[in-house]
Amino acid sequence: MAGYLAAGGLLALAQSALAVPVLEARIVSTPTTTFTSDAATIVPIVPVTNVSYHGPYTGPAPTTTGAMSTSVLASSVPILPPEAGKFAYPADGDLHADEPAPYTPAGGLGTNGSEPVYRVQSDFDYQSIALGLYQEWIELDLFHWGLATYSTEEWEAAGLTAEDRFLIEFMADQEVGHATILTNMLGPNAPKQCTYNYPTMNPREYIDFNQKLTRWGESGVYGFLNHLDSREVGQILLQSITTEARQQMIFRQFNGQFPMPVWFESGIPQSWAWTLLAPYISSCPEGTKQLIWQNYPALHILNQPNVARIDGASVYNETLGDYANTANTAGIAPKDACVNATEVGANCSPAITHNRTIPLSYPGREVFLQWDKPGSPVGPNNSYITSTSAGTPMFALWVSQLNATYTPLLNVSGNTGYTIQPNVSTFEGDPAINGTMFLALTDVDIPVTPFNLSSINSHVYAVSLYQAG
């Protein structure tokens, strides 16, 4: 077949532009018998059943409570200097070792021909991939649930067409594949599909919830991906999370937001993702093992910007009151809602992209906060307990793009206070604080960067999402 093309098509193309019509004529194709090769690996199918219950957990008190743990060796991981030798490689563009094979530079991990083993290799791997699997399972249900919950009229009133709804259905199908592949890399004790407890939402709020949930799903993986012991597992996870990243962006587009207002997506620690995810899980089947991850107390952003308003920054107490601080559209008068606005800069109907004349947030904005105390039951079967090892919150930690920036908490009184949105650029021309990003409260302001962000965990008091743009 290649020979036919080379003789009749490509060579002709190379010889003369006049031959182009010949190539066009030849590439017209008719359906014919297909060929395939034997699969190198076969991934067992994981049965998927529809979730039959949605609502709060009402069953008996759990027999096991709290995160799973073993002997804990220290209260936190030490801060150490860089490893010796990390500056040794010359990085000058020349080759510094013999090549293992032609066109093959020396070095790399998993490049010496050993057969890949797509299997977790440590507690770190297992707990991280199990967390990822909980996320895939909830997305599978959440996408189906929305489609089953709202009428065609409700969808259309929110500007979402039958084609848009099919895209959500397709996203649910993608989650079947993601749940299957993660289950197989974990083995028989992998977490199963659970039941879920979503806030009461209209389609617009549902889309906002989805763009927030997929944000922590995506960022939760970026936080641990390059720390996994198993490079093979990391490879497969990467190929699923890039799909999830597309889902997150599409939900922003359905929400009428600028699809990607940042130059970099952030990673967050596993315990932050679990803190945000667990409250929406009602119960998990018998035999489900506890995870190791921490559930921090909720952080309520009292003036969380509201994406459904033309002026989304001038708001107070307009969330659904949930962990994710999802937008609440109940109090928005039609003239203040952006979904039916027609003017460029005001209109936020579903679209590839929209400008927003009045930004949702800006450097210098006062952000009013309220946080819960630890000790509340949360998550599957109410079997996890919110906790923190931090002292009184002193700082807000803004995690966006490549930056982790502290601002002081001001006027702290009881469990409320406020902070001021910082003026940070990741690079010149790229304001760091934008998009759907993360806000945590801490008791210290020790520096952290993308590869060691989880070092702050023992100082974190509460965690949430901030709708900066």
Write the interaction track for ligand NAG spanning residues 290-319; mark x where CB under 6 A is met and - where it is not.
Answer: ------------x--------------x--
Taking residue 345's Cβ as centre, other Cβ atoms within 10 Å add up to 13
State yes or no: residue 235 binds ligand NAG (CB under 6 A): no
Residue nearest to ligand NAG (CB): 59
Pairing of strands 395-400, 384-385: unpaired
C-alpha to C-alpha distance for 297 and 294, rounded to whole angstroms: 10
d(CA 284, CA 138): 11
Task: Measure Cα distances from 172 to 145, 248, 313, 460 in Å.
Answer: 10, 13, 32, 33
**Distance separating alpha carbons of residues 54 and 43, to the nearest angstrom:** 30
- Cβ-Cβ contacts under 8 Å for 41 (sequence gap 6 or more): 118
Report d(CA 134, CA 204) in Å as an integer: 24
Give min distance, CB of 51 to ligand NAG, in A: 9
The nearest distance, CB 55 to ligand NAG, in angstroms, is 12
Check binding of 239 to ligand NAG (CB under 6 A): no
353 contributes a contact to ligand NAG by CB under 6 A: no
Of positions 118, 124, 263, 362, contacts ligand NAG by CB under 6 A: 362
Could you say which residues in the range 212-231 bind ligand NAG, by CB under 6 A? none
Render the burial of 94-111: b for 16+ CB within 10 Å, e for the rest: eeeeeeeeeeeeeeeeee
What's the one-letter identity of residue 415?
Answer: N
- In whole angstroms, what is the distance from residue 339 CA to residue 248 CA? 19
Taking contact as CB under 6 A, which single stretch among the options 90-98, 181-189, 206-214, 351-359 is the one that binds ligand NAG? Answer: 351-359
Q: Does 381 bind ligand NAG (CB under 6 A)?
A: yes
CA gap 442, 459 in Å, rounded:
5
| Cβ nearer to ligand NAG, comparing 158 with 245 | 158
Query: Which range, of 85-93, 126-134, 234-242, 333-341, touches ligand NAG by CB under 6 A?
Result: 333-341
If we measure between CA atoms, which residue out of 348, 358, 344, 261 comes closest to residue 308? 348
Per CB under 6 A, does 261 bind ligand NAG? yes
User: Residue 450 has which token pair?
Assistant: 């993308």
- Check residue 144 for interaction with ligand NAG (CB under 6 A): yes
x-or-dash pattern for ligand NAG, window 392-431, by CB under 6 A?
----------xx-x-----x------x----xx-x----x
Judged by DSSP in three states, 15 sits in helix
Nearest distance from residue 308's CB to ligand NAG, in Å? 7
Contacts with ligand NAG by CB under 6 A: the residue count is: 56
C-alpha 10/C-alpha 283 separation (Å) is 60
Q: What angle do CA 188, 280, 230 make, to 5 degrees?
A: 40
Smaller CB separation from ligand NAG, 135 or 283: 283
> CA dist 216 to 39, 78, 88, 209, 266, Å?
34, 27, 36, 11, 9
Q: Residue 49 interacts with ligand NAG (CB under 6 A)?
A: yes
Is residue 200 involved in binding ligand NAG (CB under 6 A)?
no
Report the chain's C-alpha Rg in angstroms: 25
The residue among 55 and 285 lying less far from ligand NAG, judged by its C-beta, is: 285
The reply to whether 121 sits near ligand NAG by the rule CB under 6 A is no
**Which residue in 11, 20, 68, 79 binds ligand NAG (CB under 6 A)?**
79
Nearer to ligand NAG, 187 or 285 (CB): 285
Interface mask toward ligand NAG for 427-466; x: CB under 6 A: ----xxxx-----------xxxx--x--x-----------
C-alpha distances (whole Å) from 419 to each of 371, 398, 434, 440 are 13, 11, 16, 11
Q: Which of 288, 294, 419, 442 binds ligand NAG (CB under 6 A)?
A: 288
Give the interface with ligand NAG as residue ranges (CB under 6 A).
49-50, 59, 62, 79, 109-110, 112, 114, 144, 148, 157, 258, 261, 283-286, 288, 302, 317, 334, 337, 339-340, 344-345, 355-356, 359, 361-364, 366, 381, 402-403, 405, 411, 418, 423-424, 426, 431-434, 446-449, 452, 455, 468-469
